[in-house]
Structure 1
């Protein structure tokens, strides 16, 4: 389902869809060549570069590859899920089979249920019941995960544990649908690990701990405050006006509200779509605008950006057990108030004033259309 701001935007995007760039998707094919070529060039020359250089570079390319996998599952560069699946099959980022990631992420795009922990598999919130049953240590870890530093250090571990647990539970229920994908993934991963060890001098533990985990941590930069809890689903996705490096690494997925509204738009067009209707998107997001990931890092390095319990929007709400709150008080020096739906960042307030001074206002109602 696509949401267009107005008929003019729908008409413009329909025209662009017929352009040579969109029809051929040559930027995405170029990207595929750059990522695969760069990854294997660095790996095969790891001894020459030195592992202290090769391993961090591989982590960056693996994070970039994860962004490519995201693009593939949304139907780029081909309309064939099979062909796109072949392109995204290689376990360069270690952890998850492409097909499993694809299915979970498409479930995440159920926007009316975005951030709901029982429905959204990518939610960083927990239900009130899960919070009530959690012990002190689990609560402290969940709170710490919602700091910027905690997201980098703990976010990957949470993702790995959650996906693995879900896979095991499906098998325990007698659902073996994902087992072939996991088996194929581990077979390919084993082959890649052997090649890296014997031909490139990269030990298995170094690949997992030095490439796989940091790659997932880099991707966690994008996920930090990517979504918030809000009454209106269009207020739940951020607009992050990140610097060029992050835009390229995340393939413009930092314009996250635009991506959720128009998931069929390819990565190379997202920025143009956003810039053309910037004021409207800022208003549509409810002021959920940030000037780059460094702003999140400055504000929330060790401060809590959002409360982990879904639906807890009150500024004075407590986390639950006093012991858990006290433990985190010791860890971070105190709990910070979460972002609220009605609040905006200083940047968003300036944008709102600009709109009041005569810039184009967003329409009260947009237009939803199913993708053909």
Structure 2
């Protein structure tokens, strides 16, 4: 039964995306088929094989070790602030971002990351049929983050037509940065985080290839990666540490605001309508949850979490998911994969602002297709969750 529902889910996703396509005649189906097959194979390998389990455990183990190192610095500064055996969310989940950001800076400075990102992108461009820039940007977004990635291609931003700019922004919204992957792994199972990271990479190309198809000519297919301004090692390290701290503070501020706002709106709706705002959204999203593979009896609860992620962010939704202890393991897995992306309303402003800071005209272009961007990124998350549901 779950295979039939998965097929239905994929058909619904493709149907909705096809209906919104801006150039149906340009859609190339061969790369789409190849990438869907790759998604299925990768999901099977990561969720249902010993090799996949080994890789996930290894990946999770690396982050567990890094979080342990981060805890050394946090305990030195904030030791004794929490009760014995307890740890505030900000200290245990968000502040480790500072150390992970510093590590990314070191790998950038030593030219290890740029080398890996560039050549993985070149390999991907052979599979997805898109340009080298689009493929590079997708991999770079998954490492550097949805704002920082545009700095590395800022020389080309002003020269890109609207359709290529859309693909770059869609990749940034569909993936998550490595600096916060460790935080996710403290909130949901690492295997779902890893699975989502891999599936979203290909899912972004699949949805963009339907929603926004185009061909890149050899003359246009040029990749110019902006070299970072030369700094001393300790200048760079200090900059990345501060950047990581800013991210932690921003996420904390957004959590305070969004959790409080949702609690207030829930209270108002419960008082007037006898049903909370999140429950109402749950009914709206329940059909989507069902075609993703969630059992119908749990579809409303799952839909509520999905809607929370869309209107607030993935951290708020992950916290809510953790509170729902009566959901089946299958539902938890499908929803967890859905949550691992930056597809929410606030990301429209973040991405448009990042591009605008580098090129004002292009920033305005991004702001105009913001809702279309969110639709595409959400379809990527739904597709990844549907594929993962086949093997849960």
Bigger share in helix? 2
TM-score by length of 2: 0.29
TM-score by length of 1: 0.30
